[in-house]
Amino acid sequence: MARTEGDYSWVVENHYGDVYRFALSLTHDEAEAADLTQEAFWRLADRFLEIRDVRRMKSWLFTTLHREFIGRRKRQNRYPHVHLEETELELPAISSVSELTVDGKTALETLAEVEEVFRAPLALFYLEDYSYAEIGEILGIPLGTVMSRLSRGKARLQQLLADRTLPSQSARLIPFPSKAA
């Protein structure tokens, strides 16, 4: 069976080399050029029937490949690939508070030191297992206020626990898990 200009296989056979060379001229990397070429031909296969003028398929392939190349460069600049070892010094230090644990008795004693406005939502959420909406209904406050008080209350409780626990102790703070409403 003879292949014609309107046949996808004909387009691949007649334009693959040119498209690959164009990709290689852009990337200077054989693997990346092959990926770009494959992407361009995959997109052509996906839209092959939509292209009416078969004489424009080569320019369509070049345009598609170039746009994909530009898009990849933008993503690469925005989200550069770096090895963890190279950025180790830039990573934030882990707070010693998150490395501490305390027993339940100490946690409850410390909770009693937290201001009432924060203590009630904390107790209802973590000890009584109420949802945000239920806490809002119980305390007569909006959902956003519940979330804010829980967040601020957790921070205050962790600060109080950190103040109580000496860094030299081998205790570990049990972090409060975040729960959905």
Same domain, 29 and 58: yes
Distance CA 33, CA 5 (A): 25
Residue 180 lies in a domain: no
CATH number for the domain that contains residue 31? 1.10.1740
Domain count, the chain: 2
The answer on pLDDT for 181 being more than 70 is no
- Residue of 141 and 50 predicted with greater confidence: 141
Same domain? 102 vs 143: yes
Give the structural domain span for 62: 8-79
- Tell me, yes or no, whether 12 lies in a domain: yes
Tokens describing residue 154: 């957790």
In the chain, what is the greatest distance between 2 CA atoms, to the nearest angstrom? 86
Establish if 84 belongs to a structural domain: no
Check residue 118 and give its pLDDT.
93
| Residues 99/173, Cβ–Cβ less than 8 Å | yes
Q: Are 167 and 96 in contact (CB under 8 A)?
A: yes
pLDDT in tens, 7-42: 888 888 989 999 999 999 999 999 999 999 999 999
Give the predicted TM-score (pTM) of the model.
Answer: 0.45
| Domain end point (choices 79, 114, 135) | 79
Q: How far apart are CA 108 and CA 87, in angstroms?
A: 39
Residue 87 placed within a domain: no
Residue 90 binned pLDDT confidence (cut-offs 50, 70, 90): confident
